[in-house]
Amino acid sequence: MAADSDSYEESVRTRREEAVAEFDAHESGFIGTIHGILHKYPFLVPLMVIIMAIIVFGLINPNFWRVGTLSLILQQVGIVGILGIAQALVIITAGIDLSVGAMLVFITVIMGNFSFRYGIPAEISIVIGLAAGALMGFANGWMVARLRLPPFIVTLGTWQIILAANYIYSRNETIRSQDIEAEAGALQFWGEIFSIGGARATYGVVAFLSLVAVVAYILSSTAWGRHVYAVGDDKEAAELAGVNTDKVLIQVYTVAGLLCGIAAWVAIGRFGAISPGASTGIQGNIQSITAVVIGGISLFGGRGSIIGMFLGALTVGVFEMGLRLAGADAQWTFLLIGVLIIAAVTVDQWIRKVSG
């Protein structure tokens, strides 16, 4: 795929490689080496935090080291993690999407109501839900790219619009898990459990890990992925280099909406029921931004990786579970996550300095 890409991409790629080489030449000593490694692989920071946290929490409460507990953390971060992939894509373009959680909840409601209110087969309702997600994402992207509105404002608006539409359309009614299981089992597909070597996991975990792998590959190794970085790094330069930035932006927001749809489907599997009052509608955006930021993705765009976001989401999950198993008050979790956010950005700034 890379071989037949156009020449302007080559220039983008070559230029980035040169920058790294130049930076290596300037630095020396132990700190300099760390600088260099971290600059090349910013996700190493959250990775080290996770490894240390796992060791410490396990020493406090051995239950933490059980395979079951670790698999449980993956289930717990899966939904925010998929929202995080969507959020990461948007933030890499120097945007932000405040509507991801609201889209998720609204899509669960759409999938549920098409199945139960209109009697459409669950499989088709799922496709309709995914399409609705892509459409909502497209609307966000269109307003950002064509109307030139700031992403924060656009999605602040659509967040409220989608959330309100969700409550109105659903009449605030919860669809019960028992009913879904009996009549629309496909909706709960990702909640099914399988076990490998004694560890139990849900299909939802597989979906999460696969999406991380696929989107990470697309971002790092395809022309489209490099365009996404280029738009976020310097929109004008990208345009001059021949990238259709408006098109890329709209595509990114649309894909983000589609990812919210997948997250919605996974969420139905995890929770069993469909509830328009789900708290993800209100805090899903902040949770996903937290994962992105701890994962070392720059809010100014153009930098960071999906692997980083994955580790960021995992960090939050590891701390939540670990602190609770250690018997700490829940507020300590939020306090520590706050510290992690600020620490992550501080480290990010330090790493950025060298890239000058």
Partner 1 sequence: MKKLLTLGASAAALAITATSAMAGSHSVSACLITKTETNPFFVKMREGAQQAAEEQNVELSTFSGKFDTDFESQITAIETCVANGADGILITPSIPDSLVSAVNSARDAGVLVIALDTPFNPIDVADMTFATDNFEAGRLAGAWARATLGEEGAANAKIAGLNINPAQPTVGVLRNQGFMHGFGIELNDPNRWGDEDDPRIVGNDVSEGNPEGGRKAMENLLAIDQDINVVYAINEPAASGAWEAMKAMGTDPDDVIITGVDGGCPGVKDVEAGIIDATSQQYPLLMAKLGVEAIRTFADTGEKPQPTEGKNFFDTGVALITDKPVDGVPSISVAEGLELCWG
How far apart CA 203 and CA 189 sit, in angstroms, is 7
The set of residues, in sequence order, having a beta carbon less than 8 Å from that of 91 and lying 6+ positions away, is: 232, 289, 292, 297, 298, 299, 301, 304
- Of 240 and 286, nearer to partner 1 (C-beta) is 286
Cβ 180 to partner 1, closest distance in Å? 10
Cβ 157 to partner 1, closest distance in Å? 23
- Of 140 and 275, nearer to partner 1 (C-beta) is 275
Cβ 271 to partner 1, closest distance in Å? 6
CA distances from 190 to 248, 253, 271 (A): 30, 24, 10
- Of 115 and 140, nearer to partner 1 (C-beta) is 115
How far apart CA 69 and CA 80 sit, in angstroms, is 18
- Of 252 and 323, nearer to partner 1 (C-beta) is 323
In this structure, which long-range contacts are made by residues 49-57, counting pairs with CB atoms below 8 Å and at least 24 apart in sequence?
49/315, 49/340, 50/311, 50/314, 50/315, 50/318, 53/315, 53/318, 53/319, 53/322, 54/318, 54/322, 56/322, 57/318, 57/321, 57/322, 57/323, 57/325, 57/326
How far apart CA 16 and CA 19 sit, in angstroms, is 5
Cβ 199 to partner 1, closest distance in Å? 12
Nearest Cα residue to 47 out of 305, 295, 350, 215: 295
Cβ 318 to partner 1, closest distance in Å? 12
How far apart CA 82 and CA 207 sit, in angstroms, is 9
Nearest Cα residue to 89 out of 100, 76, 79: 100
Cβ 89 to partner 1, closest distance in Å? 23
Give yes or no for a contact between 111 and 129, defined as CB atoms under 8 angstroms apart.
yes
How far apart CA 309 and CA 87 sit, in angstroms, is 9
- Of 84 and 304, nearer to partner 1 (C-beta) is 84
Cβ 107 to partner 1, closest distance in Å? 16
- Of 276 and 296, nearer to partner 1 (C-beta) is 276
- Of 176 and 352, nearer to partner 1 (C-beta) is 176
Q: Write out the residues near partner 1 by the rule CB under 8 A.
A: 61, 63, 66, 68-69, 72, 75-76, 171-178, 191, 270-273, 275, 277-280, 282-283, 320-321, 324-325, 327, 329-331
Nearest Cα residue to 299 out of 91, 98, 93: 91
Nearest Cα residue to 109 out of 184, 186, 185, 172: 172
Cβ 251 to partner 1, closest distance in Å? 30
Cβ 109 to partner 1, closest distance in Å? 13
